[in-house]
Amino acid sequence: MYTTGKHLLDVQNVSMRYANDKLALNDVSLSVCPGEFVTILGSNGSGKSTLLRCIARLQQPSAGTIHFGDHDLTKLQGQQLRRARHGLAMIFQHANLVRRRTVIANVAAGALGYHQTIWTALGALPRTELIKSYDYLDEVGLTHLAQQRAGTLSGGQAQRVAISRALAQRPRIILADEPVASLDPQAAEDVMGLLRRLATEDGIAVLCVLHQPELAERYSDRIVGMRGGQMIFDITAKQMGSHDVAGLYMSQAA
């Protein structure tokens, strides 16, 4: 169904059952290739955010495997998990920047995982990373804000800085959990365009949870539909018109 070649991320038969016995994910399988932009669509409670959180190991799936590069993320702990996470960046609905630090310090903090020294543990940032961070800020077009406090940014700017921080992590995939949900339409286009460019030009895979089918169609290579914890379609963006996308959002409670 999807492009052949070596998968970067390979989710196989993942299920997630909460303590209250609710089945949030039911046997979900999904693969992402390098440089591919995949969007997950679905209504609230469809399990799409849970899937992303399981991949980032913010939650431990109750069954299945999640291969990223050479590792099965579900089997890793502690130091190994931290190292495996280097290649896997995540952005959220909110930028989650440290508001009182400068923009450039926020970006450079994304690379801390590569520099586990006494000095960084005491709050210092490596000079080399601060210098490189200007390049990452340049990628999102915000070098002129480098010395401003992150708390002074607009929502769209903050989200672009968050992407810049993700780049400092030098990721092979960016997981984006509703990255434009709290942005105005223009800022949303900017952020989606930026993610698209990172996928096309830098070969960074993007796995993005969205609520807007229209944005998904324009920016993604592939679109995955989820409903009630199950994957109900996995199509290319071009096939989008022929699918019943509205069905994703029909009430299941009725």
Partner 1 sequence: MTSGASSTALGHPVAASPIILIRRIFIGLVLLAIFGQALWMTDARPGELISGIHGMLDILGRSIPPAFSEFPTVLQPALETIDIAIVGTACGVVLAIPLAILAAANVTPAKPLYYGARAVIALTRAVPDLVWALLFVTAVGLGPFPGVLAQSVHSIGMLGRLFAEVIEDMDMGPVDALRLTGANRAQVFTHAVIPGVLPSLLGIGFYRLDDNLRNSLVLGFVGAGGLGFQLLTAMNLFQYKTVSLLLIVTFVLVMLMERLSAALRRRVA
Residues in touch with partner 1 (CB under 8 A): 56, 58, 82-83, 85-86, 89-90, 92, 94, 96-101, 109-114, 116, 120-123, 125, 162, 165-166, 169
Give me 33's structure tokens: 């290739």
CB of 232 to partner 1, least distance (A): 29
Please say which residue, 179 or 225, places its beta carbon nearer to partner 1.
179
Q: How far apart are CA 140 and CA 147, in angstroms?
A: 15
Q: Which amino acid is at 71?
A: H
CB of 26 to partner 1, least distance (A): 25
Please say which residue, 145 or 162, places its beta carbon nearer to partner 1.
162
Please say which residue, 123 or 241, places its beta carbon nearer to partner 1.
123
The secondary structure element, H or E, covering residue 236 is: strand 230-236
CB of 126 to partner 1, least distance (A): 11
CB of 87 to partner 1, least distance (A): 9
CB of 188 to partner 1, least distance (A): 20
Closest listed residue to residue 226, CA positions, set 82, 3, 7, 11: 11
Please say which residue, 60 or 236, places its beta carbon nearer to partner 1.
60
Q: 45 by DSSP, 3-state: which?
A: coil
Please say which residue, 92 or 249, places its beta carbon nearer to partner 1.
92
Closest listed residue to residue 159, CA positions, set 188, 201, 129: 188
Q: Which amino acid is at 114?
A: Y
Closest listed residue to residue 174, CA positions, set 70, 36, 57, 73: 36
Q: 197 by DSSP, 3-state: which?
A: helix
